[in-house]
Amino acid sequence: MKTNIQWGILGTGRIAEKFAIGLQHVANAQLYAVGSRSKEQANLFANKFNIPHAYGSYAELASDPQVDVIYIASPHVFHAEHTLLCLESGKAVLCEKPFAMNARQVNEMIKKAREKNLFLMEALWTRFLPTIRKTEELISSGVIGDIIQIQSDFGFKAEYDPQWRLFNKKLGGGSLLDIGIYPVFITLLLLGMPDEIVSSAVIGPTGVDESMAAVFKYNNGKIASLSSTFMAHTPTETIICGTEGRIRIHRMWHTPTYMTLTQNNGTSEDIYFDYASNGYEYEAQEVTNCLLQGLKESPLLPLSFSEKLISLLDTIRQQWNLEYE
């Protein structure tokens, strides 16, 4: 029975670096290998994080028999391709969000994982942060009563470059898939699938959404207001309002931060957490634990959740007639 999980990272960009930093704080895990499209980039990344093995192709990484699981940190449009490559090679996979570009690709990935009897999870790191776990705990305790409304946003002023992945349609650009996914995620987690979605977007010159907004309506009277943008710095908070109080997850709510519980009786409490690293350690620890237990899915983020999430993203995009090649 394995007692240590050997990790590989596919890709050497900024998100790969963040994950490598977080992984250093995960028990029973070792960052064993990295793969890049160039040997030079792989070596640079390996030297920076003291990784024993560096490969100049993704196929070489996927073929290493010592690698147990691969974190996929490539651009959105390659997530499905690279996930299938790793699964075909017998590797468990943690794939960065969005899981893929559409529901069809996600279904292919899940089908292959089950066919190969391998672990697969979407890397929605926010799901595992103490703020989100505490939010669930507070809601379950009834301290804010029944949820009535959620307000969640994510926005920052990005330097415009039509070739950059944020704006480049060929690389899966657009605010919804990159950052709007977070407000959609938290609403799905706390309220479930909506009964009605109304959304709109500002489509920029490169053909992707530079800003978007959506309202999720529920037949039980609940409602959520969601937005994302690359064109302005927004509060980037999530506020969950209930019949007896509210929870505010403060600025950069999708990252390690703090939260405030305010009740109708006027009491207010700030809740802080001790973070060992940058927050990526929590999802990496979840995957490591699942693999050591022989699980094929995470109980906290099952594949059925990712299926629902991508279906919501597809529905929203369809309302704007935004399709990717």
The phi, psi pair for 72, rounded to 5°, reads -95, 115
pLDDT digits 0-9 by tens, 278-304: 999 999 999 999 999 999 999 999 999
Residues 227 and 155: beta-carbon distance below 8 Å: yes
Q: Residue 179's closest CA among 211, 147, 150, 206?
A: 211
pTM reported for the whole predicted model? 0.97
Residue type for 247, please? I
Residue type for 170, please? K
Strands in 108-155 per DSSP E = 120-123, 147-155
Query: Residues 6 or more apart from 217 whose CB is under 8 A from it?
Result: 194, 195, 196, 197, 198, 223
Q: What is the pLDDT of residue 246?
A: 98
Q: What is the pLDDT of residue 325?
A: 76
pLDDT digits 0-9 by tens, 172-229: 999 999 999 999 999 999 999 999 999 999 999 999 999 999 999 999 999 999 999 9
Percent above pLDDT 90 for the chain: 99
Q: What is the pLDDT of residue 248?
A: 98
Q: Is the pLDDT of residue 97 over 90?
A: yes
Residues 122 and 196: beta-carbon distance below 8 Å: no
Q: What is the pLDDT of residue 1?
A: 73
Say how far apart CA 247 and CA 275 lie, in whole Å. 20
Q: How far is CA 193 from the centre of its chain?
A: 18
Average pLDDT, the chain: 97
Query: Residues 6 or more apart from 50 whose CB is under 8 A from it?
Result: none
Query: Residues 6 or more apart from 133 whose CB is under 8 A from it?
Result: none
Q: What is the pLDDT of residue 290?
A: 98
Q: Is the pLDDT of residue 317 over 80?
A: yes
Gyration radius of the chain's alpha carbons:
20
SS3 at position 271: strand
Q: How many helices (H) and strands (E) does the chain have?
A: 10, 14
Say how far apart CA 201 and CA 103 lie, in whole Å. 21
Residues 34 and 12: beta-carbon distance below 8 Å: yes
CA angle 75, 233, 319 (to 5 degrees): 60
Domains of the chain (ranges, CATH numbers):
5-125 (3.40.50.720), 130-278 (3.30.360.10)
54 forms beta bridges with 34
Q: Residue 186's closest CA among 143, 224, 228?
A: 224
Percent above pLDDT 70 for the chain: 100
pLDDT digits 0-9 by tens, 20-79: 999 999 999 999 999 999 999 999 999 999 999 999 999 999 999 999 999 999 999 999
Lowest mean pLDDT of 98-102, 266-270, 321-325, name the range.
Answer: 321-325
Q: Which residues of 286-320 are buried (b: 16+ CB within 10 A; e: fewer)?
A: bbbbbbbeeebbbebbebebbebbbebbeebbeeb
Say how far apart CA 319 and CA 114 lie, in whole Å. 32
Q: What is the pLDDT of residue 152?
A: 98
- Between strands 268-271 and 147-155, the pairing is unpaired
Say how far apart CA 232 and CA 213 lie, in whole Å. 14
User: How confident is the model over 308-321, as a mean pLDDT?
Assistant: 98
Q: What is the pLDDT of residue 2?
A: 84
Q: Is the pLDDT of residue 10 over 90?
A: yes
